[in-house]
Amino acid sequence: MSAMVPDQIRTSQAKDDWKPLRKMPSQPAEKYRIGEIGFPWGDAEKAQWLAQTTCHRSYLDEVVSKLQNLDFNNLQVQQYGALQHDPARFPLMAVFSKNWDANKPSILVTGGVHGYETSGVQGAILFLQTSAPKYCDYFNIAVIPCVSPWGYERIERWNRSCLDPNRSFGDDVSKQTEESAAVKAFLHSLGMEKGKWLLHIDQHETTDTDETEFMPARAALQGSVYKKCEIPDGFYIVSDNENNDIGFNTAVIESVKKVTHICPGDSNGTIIEEPLTQDGTIIVPVQTLGLCASVTGAKYATTTEVYPDSSRVTDEQCNRAQVAAVEGALNFILSSN
């Protein structure tokens, strides 16, 4: 029986994938190691994918223990849930202002929505360890350093069910994942419904293995063929097409420039096939795609994208770039008032 091969998937239509370790050998674009071209994955293929995932690092050691050892007076650590298949191993952790004040503007920082994107997680923790306390006088602060702890340990983009958590934060409840539902419940517990937040920074990375592993996997899941895309060399941000602020974008980029290089775009003036709208900035339909950056409805919201595979940066610089993005955003808001 033959099958029609769907059109090639354009990267920026929806980066719904996953990925193992950096610098993996490239998978042939025309045939991924799981499944057949023209046939979307069923339960057997998804089970095969899950079986080949491997634990590479400890979420409890690298995330939870760091949060439990934080020492400050104005922030508190709280478990807001757990992944149900192994709740002891995967408690869901948040840090937020002890004295939540309805008269203060509220800001959210999220990391590890894609578990493999390391600096999103460690950058959020570094922000808590360094900069967060000095902003507590001006803002209610909430930080969820690792939204997807299973993905963090496995260095995967998807969750255990072959679902991309970063497409599950929209209003359609049927598309929610366990991870996104837990985040929404936590935000609700703070009395912060959508639209009450001033700022949301969702911290991500774009890595070489997006091209060698995660994007090909996404295409295979749909029974399609992956169209290769150029990996952006440098930091950039992804803004919301419905809520884009040029001054805010500039402030974030200028702050990050002090730490790492900004992606100039390719020869076509694009990043991941989306046109640059200003220095280091592209715009996508954040709400339509159900990205994590849409969950708060904040006036200022963006997704950061660090490039950790560059020979020009270290892991420390990647973490500090994430912190610089948050600081740039907060300082912009303070200077605008």
How many whole angstroms separate alpha carbon 26 and alpha carbon 301? 34
Verify whether residue 45 is a known catalytic residue. Answer: no
* Active-site choice (273, 305, 316, 327): 305
How many whole angstroms separate alpha carbon 235 and alpha carbon 25? 24
Token pair in block for residue 124: 């959020």
Q: Walk across the sheet containing 199-205 and list its strands.
A: 75-82, 91-97, 140-144, 106-111, 199-205, 300-306, 236-240, 281-284
Within 10 Å of residue 84's Cβ, how many Cβ atoms?
A: 9
Whether the CB-CB separation of 281 and 263 falls below 8 Å is answered with: no
How many whole angstroms separate alpha carbon 113 and alpha carbon 158? 9
Whether the CB-CB separation of 210 and 254 falls below 8 Å is answered with: no
Active site (catalytic) residues: 305
